[in-house]
Structure 1
């Protein structure tokens, strides 16, 4: 008897569900025990936690037994005599061997992923450091050939710092060559500040190496000429151009004093804020649920009729753009009192007409959620509107986050402080509407688009930009050492979901959707790929479409059903469910005398920013392990219907600040995210019919459970969003709902930039 229970009984006989091979780092960690020929040979997968954790263990006496847990029977504990064990292949050593093979095959991305995994999870693996050094050196030629100069230089410097004796002469020559190529590129782009800072850093770190001796004087001449041009722009009133050119000369010590003097003058005459963003703002909608850039930039140019300010004890706190609002104690009447500015201009009648149109199914402005609760509208004098509801509703005003379109709302009441004066692929410029601004208030806000988050952070540190609208924990740690940069949290987290949007036969199967959730190691993706953090305050896996809330904003979690636990990662069960669904669809097709449907490549629509791209790529890799092919389609301008119709899923980053009404906007509206699942439709109707907060909460808890069970939406995670601001920008709200929430209070104070 080779494997036995402690009591002596032998159990075998169940076939394991085969999972298609993929990278070991994406598979459940297991070790392999190989038996001797005398024991009958064969190999078995065992759970690693019950084996000694060092690959170079000392073999005990042959008569001793090793306790193991077979992967096939995880609920049972077995024992095996050491004399029957030929060898043990440890999981971490197999990952290392896989990394070696990938490096030999010049698969540098795969090798890097395996090495990164080992250094994070198994840093004591023998030969790991040797392989890391070989990887760094071997990957250099590939990154240099692909013009990835920053990555090449970073790798060379890491190699020199961590292994100074490893091919020292070759590494030194390579640093000189790569620095020269990088300086050439920066000069060609006109990024003299970056070139000057790079040259200064290299000289300080490695001395006046050959390439620095050759370039230093030329960089100085170019900086002097550029600053002279900036001073001319300033004299002729081209302040934006002067600012941009002056910033480019900061890296040159010869002109640093003149540069700072010019920038100080510009901050008084023409204060502007340069905001680094990773998502372009095409559409502008300050109340958007699903588009971060539309919501961010929309608030500069528009104000919603009702604007969410913060969470409260019972729902959020809102401000009415045209005056004040009050909900009756019995939740059946909403009173809107217009300020004097609007009461004398006939706006009460116009606003009343808008409310009626929003409830009219024949109107282009029709809003199903509003129509379900609005009964009638009365004009009580020139400055008061009474909205009588069909039945009690706890948050009718939360459904009125409307913005001005054509003639449907008074544009002056809902106009933001800024207007968009220009926009292209590189930047969008917003200018202050009123010329009577107070000293120091930005007259321009320039949003600069970055594809590369590393370049974004570098420019923030160098002072080329003043703010970054989204910073994730994995990047935030790099900024902690900079005293002139503040890292601030947004008031509320974002909730990330996968929403099916096609009629794919497989996606219509609840079992198949559950298989995809089982096939997704959400915890690993969130912690390892997205956040680089295990702190739950940075983000958490969720079991439904609602936010969990945070320690500072637990009021947000009133919709979250804590009894519904997130589905655990289980690729074995995922594969079984996929096979089961294939058999079901094949039988159904056979009855209809139709060919069996093929599982074609799923298309996942992805917003064009780094976190979403990383997340979707990770999902695709993990689904491939269980035999579900998928590919990513970038959605450059939000949920564009023409592109969404090519997708099977869309990755959605929602800001569900008011779950009681936002879930209706997300799943019950007329957008591409709307669900026709009968249980969801029924749950939303019950929510609309809720007459008090107890009913609302119970309806939401039930809806959470329904969605977790039927999965019309695949919940992923909640992320704590952060932003960064240089300290020269004063008046920025601590924990704002959105970046430009109180932009009218911002003031620019000049802070001298240094090398």
Structure 2
């Protein structure tokens, strides 16, 4: 009778094969009872039995509850029970099976389940250890040394007494170190030795002692090679070699001294950049390379030195800059009286387009006079909240001698790999020359930075900042002014006449996602914000620089369906106009976006291209230099611009005013701008700026994207670099090489 019951039950129970699609470790725990009847073996899945002893001898009937019918207990005659496989026994069997086939990825989930729920199961530790060992051997054979060593690290955490572990670590560690030594990655050699000794502390390894001796000898050989190269006039190559020597033996005073000597040899500072400015470039909002250059050779009547809660602080190389208590008169006491008269004549000329040099200062000037031959007095039309900010006006190349810099740009020596060279003509400092080297590849720039081929790298991509922060011989400076990213329209683009198309483009760009995933690389950093207007949002809620931004106006969201609908409606309107015989500038089916050769611009425009293609706008990308982009002669519809504003109160005129950087100024915008530039106190200026924000948001003369923070990386033995400079070269007179080099 019982046998009949067993057969009936076996007939209706779903066999193990029914659950083949679900891995065993994900299923509800069950034991297998294999029953034999009439020469056939049938597995029964039952709820876990009370007796969990592996291989326990069982006598008498076995009482169990079927997994699929747990409500009723059944009795299985003892003679019909062929064997019992506990759930944990099945898991271990599966894990061993996969490991034996070298399918370690499939085996590890079973081991993990066992360690979590059945950590004391007999044979688990030995089987798991063997699997890890076997995979490490396989990886070593495949020359995946780093992965193999990582596995040995996990094995050590399980048990440092694992037989053969010390020899395995020595063998794999040797292979890693040999590969890095042959690749001349000496910093990698040093860091690997330190990492292995730290990770496998307490073990008797021979690797550390052997390689430390080799590194000391290698450092001496590299030091001698660097000295020979330096004597042959190959300073940068010598510096790369001695940098490797420092990495090999950072405690050597001789090596550090040689590093300091070579780093400042000839008094030349080597700087990595993504592009250089043209020699005659005018520093404007959308010309970051020209702005950087102007700190050296001049190009501004006054420069911003810091930004405080009370506003910007300015100095001028032209002379002593001052203002009266009524904030209605600006004065400059020139060292050269001829320059006072020259600037006076320039200020009496018509204001011209908003982006022209001195345009806003001319527009706000009521009268000009020269007192005592060298003191220029500029009477303003009305009190100004920040008169000195008016003096922070760009100068073109022909006007540069009014407020000259302490450096001049010179021709490059024959055979030089530099893109630009500047030499000091006045002032004092440890460096007498600056050479800028242009990089197009991020990894190459980073490699040269690590090898000390350059002292500093301007414009570290935000998604690589964490990597730089982890380098022991590199420091980071965070520029004070955020960068504003936007799309500017070509002066003759048909988009200027089609606001609905501009809105479609803005709705078709996933700004927040692009900023988070592409620009930041999923990192969280202050100062990175999506914008509804191209003015600074500040780097924090307490940043006084955010005074011009209207937080009540949210950035347009990513709405691809709305973007597609707006484009479709615009094209339908074009078709109707064409049928009526009207001459129109039709909505384009494709656009060209020009962009500078910076890492952020390259990554961003690639994402924008794909996003706009999804809403019906094909995009062609065109990379161009800063000079080509600002000239207006390059063919494009939109251009990706990276803008820096030092004082929004005055810079909005250069951006949005008639003939400004944005290129368009509607009557409503002109009215709002007039209120900004005519404001007589801070409160009125702030209110006017926030009203301007509303008009700009509605008119959309440019397409605002996001704000980022600029980073500069530099060698830690380069002292004097400010932690938060206005621009890279602000404190260059204080820069000097020390004999340090590691944090």
Alignment TM-score, normalising by the size of structure 2? 0.67
- Give 1:558 deviation, angstroms: 1.3
Match of 1:579 among 552, 565, 568: 568
In the alignment, structure 1 residue 722 sits paired with structure 2 residue 711: yes
2-side partners of 1:324 and 1:596: how far apart?
A: 53
In the alignment, structure 1 residue 431 sits paired with structure 2 residue 423: yes
- Call closer, same or farther: CA 1:571–1:408 in 2, change over 3 Å: closer
Residue 294 of structure 1: aligned partner: 290
Please, which runs of 5 or more residues in structure 2 have no aligned partner?
1-25, 29-104, 107-131, 148-175, 197-214
1-side partners of 2:713 and 2:638: how far apart?
A: 32
Match of 1:416 among 406, 424, 427: 406
- Call closer, same or farther: CA 1:645–1:292 in 2, change over 3 Å: same
Whether the 8 Å CA contact 1:500–1:648 is kept in 2: the answer is yes
- Give 1:602 deviation, angstroms: 0.5
Deviating more after overlay: 530-539 vs 692-701: 530-539
2-side partners of 1:355 and 1:593: how far apart?
A: 46
- Call closer, same or farther: CA 1:539–1:408 in 2, change over 3 Å: closer
Matching of residues 468-483 of structure 1 within 5 Å: 468-483=457-472
Residue 304 of structure 1: aligned partner: 300
Residue 665 of structure 1: aligned partner: 654
Residue 143 of structure 2: aligned partner: 172
Residue 270 of structure 2: aligned partner: 274
Whether the 8 Å CA contact 1:193–1:251 is kept in 2: the answer is no
Whether the 8 Å CA contact 1:314–1:693 is kept in 2: the answer is no
Residue 34 of structure 2: aligned partner: none
- Give 1:698 deviation, angstroms: 1.9
Matching of residues 362-511 of structure 1 within 5 Å: 367-402=358-393, 405=396, 408=399, 410=401, 413-417=403-407, 419-422=409-412, 426-434=418-426, 437=428, 441-505=430-494, 508-511=497-500
Total equivalences in the alignment = 574
The structure whose Rg is larger is: 2
1-side partners of 2:584 and 2:398: how far apart?
A: 54
Whether the 8 Å CA contact 1:360–1:366 is kept in 2: the answer is no
1-side partners of 2:534 and 2:356: how far apart?
A: 26
Instruction: Report the secondary structure of 1:379's partner residue.
Output: strand
Match of 1:699 among 688, 702, 710: 688
Residue 731 of structure 2: aligned partner: 742
Whether the 8 Å CA contact 1:675–1:681 is kept in 2: the answer is no
Instruction: Report the secondary structure of 2:497's partner residue.
Output: coil
Root-mean-square deviation (Å): 4.5
1-side partners of 2:134 and 2:596: how far apart?
A: 40
Deviating more after overlay: 377-386 vs 671-680: 671-680
- Call closer, same or farther: CA 1:192–1:425 in 2, change over 3 Å: farther
Match of 1:640 among 625, 629, 638: 629
- Give 1:579 deviation, angstroms: 0.8
1:14-69 per-residue CA deviation (whole Å, 9 max, x = no partner) reads xxxxxxxxxxxxxxxxxxxxxxxxxxxxxxxxxxxxxxxxxx999xxxxxxxxxxx
Whether the 8 Å CA contact 2:226–2:239 is kept in 1: the answer is yes
Alignment TM-score, normalising by the size of structure 1? 0.66
Whether the 8 Å CA contact 1:510–1:711 is kept in 2: the answer is yes
In the alignment, structure 1 residue 650 sits paired with structure 2 residue 639: yes
- Call closer, same or farther: CA 1:499–1:347 in 2, change over 3 Å: closer
In the alignment, structure 1 residue 606 sits paired with structure 2 residue 595: yes
Residue 697 of structure 2: aligned partner: 708
Please, which runs of 5 or more residues in structure 1 have no aligned partner?
1-55, 59-128, 131-160, 177-182, 207-218
Residue 259 of structure 2: aligned partner: 263
1:697-734 per-residue CA deviation (whole Å, 9 max, x = no partner) reads 22211111111112111111111222222221111112
2-side partners of 1:478 and 1:698: how far apart?
A: 42
1-side partners of 2:554 and 2:630: how far apart?
A: 33
- Call closer, same or farther: CA 1:708–1:231 in 2, change over 3 Å: same
Whether the 8 Å CA contact 2:486–2:706 is kept in 1: the answer is yes
2-side partners of 1:362 and 1:718: how far apart?
A: 26
Whether the 8 Å CA contact 1:501–1:672 is kept in 2: the answer is no
- Give 1:192 deviation, angstroms: 9.2
1-side partners of 2:297 and 2:330: how far apart?
A: 27
- Call closer, same or farther: CA 1:706–1:531 in 2, change over 3 Å: same
